Amino acid sequence: MNSGSDDKVTPLRPKRPCPECGKPSARETYPFCSVRCKDIDLNRWLKGAYIIPGRDNEDETDNDPPK
């Protein structure tokens, strides 16, 4: 079935460093290097450390019809 040992498999995802510690990422915990780094990131999301900014209240009042 092997056509030759020179054939290379193209990875589906590019290799990237772990966003927490910078070590090479692991396939099982991608994009993290370990379960520990994955859990650290999840904990930050659950505590609300990562915040996605919303619209300002001033922008919403500009669209209200005049009273």
**Angle formed at CA 51 by CA 42 and CA 15, multiple of 5 degrees:** 50
The reply, when asked if residue 33 is annotated as ligand binding, is yes
The reply, when asked if residue 18 is annotated as ligand binding, is yes
**Angle formed at CA 50 by CA 37 and CA 15, multiple of 5 degrees:** 40
Residue list, annotated binding site for Zn(2+): 18, 21, 33, 37
Known binding residues: 18, 21, 33, 37
